[in-house]
Each structure stands twice: as structure tokens, then as C-alpha cells.
Amino acid sequence: MAKRTSKNRIEIDSMGEMEVPSQALYGASTHRAVLNFPVSGRSVPPAIIHAFALLKRSAAVANNKLKLLDQRRAKFIVAACDEIISSFEHPDHAAEIMEHFPIDIFQTGSGTSTNMNMNEVISNIVCMEAGMSIGAKDPVHPNDHVNMGQSSNDTFPTAMQLAACIEIKAVLIPKLKLLRKSLKAKARKWDKIVTIGRTHLMDATPIRVGQIFSGYAAAIDYGIRRAERAMMRLAENMPIGGTAVGTGMNTHPKFATMVCRELSRATRITFSEAENHFEAQATRDCVVEAHGELKTIATSMSKIANDLRWLGSGPRCGLFMFTLPTIQPGSSIMPGKVNPVISESAMQVFCKVLGNDVTITSAGSGGIGSLLELNLCMPVIADCLIESIGLLGNAAGIMDEKLIQELEVNKEIAEALVEQSLMVGTVLAPVIGYDNAAKLAKDAFDSGETIRQCALREELLTEVELDELLDFEAMTRPHK
């Protein structure tokens, strides 16, 4: 063992002595993990640490009510947890507390290191509050008291689901609602503008700009429902109470229900104990399912962003149906160039969320992560899950504020395209037949005429008949 310096203290755990930085609130178990896993340089997300503190607080309250943990120790643990929780209310304080949670994401697959990290930090906060030295484990022991009735195998997946629910409720859903509101506003504002629809990137039949945006708004509306379903799926299947393998050994039968009740009170999200603890701990299927909903939200956002990128192309040599907000120079060499950067950002978020979905699916599968009575890839699952929620929330907010709200339609360009479309001939097919309408479209293309001009020249229909049939606004709704 290296020679002790004034910057270190000696801690003892089940494996023996360990040097730990003197000011660190964690102990030997945590420091072993720090030394063992110098993989990515990225620690467990703050949202998971925040959720862990909420969970340990709720566990202490439950154990006290069950008369398993005395009032003095319970109060100490609750106060320590409150100190950690409140730290996340301010960025500077959050950064300070996260220094005491340094373990790499790519650690032991059960998340045992992070669970013990939390246990040790809470114990040492209590030690300082009680006037004891850090590492004294008195009056609160990290295993015997902070971890009472728990195992890493049920606390880490519970913290993962808890954190995700909190983030979905606080970050993702509010941002999606703002984006939906802006899209609906554009749909109403532009509902009388008739333009040309496109399929396969080719001209199709007329459509109102408002209808296009109503589709975008509906996609985000479904996205909100998907986020709510994801949250519900995670909240209804809390693994806490299963301890090591789902049997609940060393925990009170009412413990899990009481913990879920405390968590529900603290977060205003309804949590409930897993119906089957063996499923809840042996798999991460609820997370795979929930992230599938998030992936679909990312897909919808990317589609909207990509559509607007195409429709805003130009300004002179593209479609330029929309003027996208000018928010930054687009080129270091081409003066005056402006690019669809918000769309590009949202599309990259989709790529990352899709990658996270592959990671979570792989980590949740029996071939890799889920094995026998425990999933062994929980930290990376948690990391990807929390990252996706944060990215989607941020991207939705930026799309709303910096793309949709300031987006302008170029009405003249949008409307001028309709008369030129060969596909307006579709409305003539029930009158002159499909084959004649197809020939008309071909002849109009070859001659450079519009469908109206070509039909008049060929004397297929009268001008009055064509005026009645080629009512572009009427083509945007069902009619006989």
C-alpha cells in the first residue's frame, strides 16, 4: 500500500484498509471503484444521484415507521439526504456534491459501486453533523442503517426508473407541450394557404399549409402521450423490496409499499411496487419499452425538422416555401450563407437517441445484460435513458423557440406552385378516366403547359368545367 500522506485518510471495509482522499465524503468501497474503473471519465448522471438520495430518504422513513430504524438515526439519514437533494437546486452546489460521486458509468453491472457510494456519503454527512470524524460510521453505518432492507440489485434499477420519471415529468413533457402549442398556432395561422403536397419528393396533390402543420402538431401530441406512457410503465414496476434476487430477503413485507408511498408524496408521481420482483430485477424490459416510446418521439421530431429543412431550402435555388430563422452565419467561406442549423441539431439528437435505444436493447437482452436473476448492464442503461430524456427535452425546447415560433411561410411561392403541378390532374381522373388523365399529365409536361392549359387545348373539358374541377382548396378535403 502506498505511503499515507496528509491528503489521505485510512478507511477500512470488508476487503481491508484503503487510502481515501481526506476531504472526500465517500469511503473505501467507492474509492476502490474509482481506481478499478477509469474507463470513460464520465460519472453516473446527476439525475440518478438525485433519485438515489430520494430513495434512501424514503427507505429511512419507511424503516422508521416499521420500527426497524430508530428515530435518531432516521432523522440523521433524512437530513443528510435532504442536503444532497437540495444541492441539485443550484448548478454550483450540484457540481460540488457531484465531486463526491466520482464512479465511472462503466462500472460493476449491478451498480453496486454507486449504491455504496451513496451509502457512504450519507453516512459521512451524518458523521460530520454528529461531531464525529469522516469514516467513523457512527451513528449511522452505510450498510447497516442507510442500506437497511435494500440491495444494490433493487435500489439501482429503482433509482434509474425514479430518475427517468422525474426527468420526463419535469423536462420532457413541458417542452413537448410548448412545441405542440407553437405548431398548432402555425396550423391555424396558415390554414387558408394552399400549396402542393409532395410524396417521394415528387409533386403530389394540393394540401393546405395548415394541414401540414396540423400533422406535425398531432405527431408531438402523440409524443406527449408516449412520454406519459413511458413514465407510467417505469413508475408502476418499481423493483425496491426485492433485495438480492427478488425474494425480499432481509426486508419487511411492507417496506416496498411504504417506500413507493414516500416517493409518490415527494415527486407527485404515482409509484407502485413491482407485481413480480423476479421479473423486475432479472430484466430491464420496462426500460426497453419506455425508451422505445422515447425513440418514437425522437423519430417524430427528426421528421418535422427534416421536412422544414427541405421546404426552407434556397433561398433562390431550392424550394424556399419557408423562411427559416436566421440565427447564425452558415459558412466560414461563403458570405451571407445561412443554414438550417436547428433542424440539423434535432436530427443529430435523433441519431443519438437511436444509438441509445440500440444500447439499451442490447444491454437489456438475455444475450448480454439480463442473465438469470439480475441484469448486469444497469449503469449504462441508466446513462442512456437519462441522456435520451434530456436530449429530447432540450431539442424540443430549441425547436420551439428557435425554429417554429420564428418560422415564416413564403405565401406567394407556396401558392404559385399549385397551378404548375401536373398532379392536379388527379381530380380529373373520375371524369375523363385514369388513362386519359395520365396522358394529359405527360402531354402537359412535354409541352410545358399546365394541366388546365393542356386540357383546354385538347378540348377534353370546357373552361367552366375546369374551373369547377380545378378548385385547389376543394382538393384539400374529401368530396364527391
Distance of CA 369 to the CA centre of its chain: 21
User: Which of 200, 343, 365, 479 is labelled catalytic?
Assistant: 200
pLDDT for the residue 480: 66
Fold of 8-148: Fumarase C; Chain B, domain 1 (1.10.275)
pLDDT for the residue 6: 62
- What CATH architecture applies to the domain 154-177+205-412? Up-down Bundle (1.20)
Q: Name beta bridge partners: 9.
A: 20
Taking Cα atoms as reference points, which of 240, 231, 220 lies closest to residue 268?
Answer: 231
How many whole angstroms separate alpha carbon 115 and alpha carbon 119? 6
How many whole angstroms separate alpha carbon 57 and alpha carbon 68? 15
Cα three-residue angle 330-348-396, rounded to 5 degrees: 95
pLDDT for the residue 14: 87
User: Which of 40, 86, 133, 331 is labelled catalytic?
Assistant: 331
In tens, the pLDDT along 434-472 reads 999 999 999 999 999 999 999 999 999 999 999 999 999
For residue 64 the three cell numbers come to 422508521
For residue 80 the three cell numbers come to 443528510
Taking Cα atoms as reference points, which of 80, 79, 92 lies closest to residue 46?
Answer: 92
331 is catalytic: yes
pLDDT for the residue 12: 87
Cα three-residue angle 304-308-311, rounded to 5 degrees: 140
Identify the H or E element spanning 257. helix 255-267
**CB of 111 within 8 A of CB of 152?**
yes
**CB of 235 within 8 A of CB of 269?**
yes
pLDDT for the residue 417: 87
Write out the CATH class of domain 421-476.
mainly alpha
Taking Cα atoms as reference points, which of 385, 351, 292, 392 lies closest to residue 45?
Answer: 385
Low-confidence ranges of the chain (pLDDT < 70): 1-6, 480
pTM of the model: 0.95
Domain ranges of the chain: 8-148, 154-177+205-412, 421-476
How many whole angstroms separate alpha carbon 169 and alpha carbon 206? 39
pLDDT for the residue 170: 98
362 is catalytic: no
Contacts of 203 (CB under 8 A, 6+ apart): 196, 421, 422, 423
